[in-house]
Amino acid sequence: MNHILYNDDSRERVKHLPDNSIDLILTDPPYNLSPYSTGNMKFKWRKEINNDLASWDQEDFTPAEWLAEFKRVLKPTGNIFAFCSYNLIGKWHEAFDPAYDTFQFFVYHKTNPVPKFRKAGFLNSCELIVCCWNKGHTWNFGKQSEMHNFYEGPICMGKERLKDPVHPTQKPVKLLSHIIKIASNEGDVVFDPFMGVASTGIAALQNNRNFIGIDTDKAYFKAAEKRIKDYVSQQPLFSIESETEKALKDTPGESVHPLIESLHINMAKSAA
């Protein structure tokens, strides 16, 4: 399988992807929760709890601004799954519901969420993921019992959790893998314009899907690149050549990365 990572602003970089080239957009954009934060929580008896997400969360994320590009790059059979905090669900619905046949949500229930020591409200143990598609979309329907819009599991931890840099919202690969298996097929292209440390990328490669990922942050990008390289080098049949060096040079007018080129070729074939 192929992958390509960009250390770039996805609002610009997405414009270089061909029309109808992506099978699954699986992404975890900024939540804009920073205005609600009361700061990190300090304790004498345990390490600080991170309540201030990160500087990337302070920049406005507006779902409506992504509609046109998501529509353009996604194949008619494609699916969109986007993590979404409670404050943005209305904005996602307002922009995306009129544009797709189906708009639903999926719940990720965390079995070990950040505790609330003051017991003055609910734990933030659920995350929402909005999902959209049109009729004829790829859907690997399992048994009824496997098709609940609900997934339960721990937050990303242990060996899987990167230590340097620590990404405050690193998602568990198992959850992403669950979505990828339902909403795409082997050989498909999965796109994450807010990839962080490439958890979606690892899940895509583990399930024999191609991956395109973007993140603006240099430290996260480097960690994503290393994580993917380490994964690929452990697979006996994969080439261990780094794809990202070339990807960084992949600007209009210069040589085009093989994955992007193959997307163009496939598009030309299906148009013929």
Ligand X SMILES: C[S@@+](CC[C@H](N)C(=O)[O-])C[C@H]1O[C@@H](n2cnc3c(N)ncnc32)[C@H](O)[C@@H]1O
DSSP structure class, residue 237: T
| Residue the block writes with tokens 């899907």 | 209
CA angle 73–75–77, rounded 5-degree value: 150
Binders of ligand X among residues 167 to 206 (CB under 6 A) are 167, 169-171, 194, 196-197, 199
Q: How far is the CB of 272 from ligand X (least distance, A)?
A: 34
Tokens of 264: 């163009």
When the beta carbons of 49 and 268 are compared against ligand X, the nearer one is 49
Helical packing angle, 218-233 and 199-206, nearest 10°:
20
Quote the least distance from Cβ 41 to ligand X, whole Å.
Answer: 20
Tell me which residues in 109-168 interact with ligand X (CB under 6 A).
Answer: 167
Whole-number minimum distance, CB 27 to ligand X, in Å? Answer: 8
Find the part of the chain contacting ligand X (CB under 6 A) among 91-99, 143-151, 210-218, 227-235.
210-218
Kindly state the smallest distance separating residue 120's Cβ from ligand X, in Å: 26
The pair of three-digit structure tokens given for residue 266, joined into one six-digit string: 């496939």
Strands in 167-244 per DSSP E: 189-192, 210-215
User: Coil, helix or strand for 78?
Assistant: strand
Pick the binder of ligand X from 1, 21, 22, 30 (CB under 6 A): 30
Contact partners, residue 189, CB within 8 Å, separation at least 6? 21, 22, 23, 24, 209, 210, 211, 212, 259, 263
From 7-15, 38-46, 71-79, 91-99, give the range in contact with ligand X by CB under 6 A.
Answer: 7-15
CB of 39 to ligand X, least distance (A): 19
The only residue of 11, 46, 109, 249 in contact with ligand X, by rule CB under 6 A? 11
CB of 126 to ligand X, least distance (A): 16
* Both structure tokens of 55: 């500087």
Residue numbers 56-75 binding ligand X by CB under 6 A: 56
Nearest to 258 by CA among 272, 242, 269: 242
Would you say 83 and 29 are in contact if contact means Cβ atoms under 8 Å apart? yes
Does residue 230 bind ligand X (CB under 6 A)? Answer: no
Residues that bind ligand X (CB under 6 A): 9-11, 28, 30, 56, 167, 169-171, 194, 196-197, 199, 214-217, 220
